[in-house]
Amino acid sequence: MSMTHYMSLLAENQPWNLIIFMAIPVICAETLTITEFFIIFNRAKTGGLRTLNKIVGIFDGFYFTGIFIYLLITAVIPLTTSNGWHTWVDVLAVFFYLSGVFFLLPIALMELGIIFKRKTVEEKMKIHFILVGGFLVVAHIAMIFGMVNPEIIGNMSNMSGM
């Protein structure tokens, strides 16, 4: 069976690629999500959960930015220049995975006070929640497209009767 480059990346160098590229960023995002619910429900502006949320947000934002840069240089550019993609499904899986940087990096920058400085605490909580949710959506879309066998997409053009 043929795989997308997304799944190939996770399957190679077991268990390290799975841990580095999937487990760490997704566990951090899930930690952000769970702590986010408690923070919003309790309107917490300080405390242990808020501190954990802030630390994880900063870590995950910069960690995933590192993944983004690494994969852009070592995978996306070479696959694009050599026409090595395994159908459009492969491109979408990698695109949605890497688009997570557009959600996680702003969380880190906001937690460090670099962006959204003039927003109220409530506005920042809303932005934070939207960014966490956005990351979870693109990560799940990447997983769905990443699990598709590209051969069935490539062969679907032969199904003219459908």
Give the SS3 label for residue 112. coil
pLDDT score at 135? 96
pLDDT score at 157? 47
pLDDT score at 1? 61
Cα(18)–Cα(1) distance, rounded to whole angstroms? 19
pLDDT score at 110? 98
Contact at 8 Å (CB) between 35 and 49?
yes
- Cβ neighbours around 14 below 10 Å, total: 9
pLDDT score at 156? 45
Cα(100)–Cα(72) distance, rounded to whole angstroms? 13
Please report, in tens digits, the pLDDT of each residue of the chain (162 residues total).
688 999 999 889 999 999 999 999 999 999 999 999 999 999 888 899 999 999 999 999 999 999 999 999 999 999 999 999 999 999 999 999 999 999 999 999 999 999 999 999 889 999 999 999 999 999 999 999 999 998 888 764 443 443
| pTM greater than the 0.85 cutoff | yes
> Rounded to whole angstroms, what are the CA distances from 148 to 6, 7, 8, 92?
10, 9, 12, 11
Helix and strand counts by DSSP (H, E) for the chain = 9, 0
- Cβ neighbours around 85 below 10 Å, total: 18
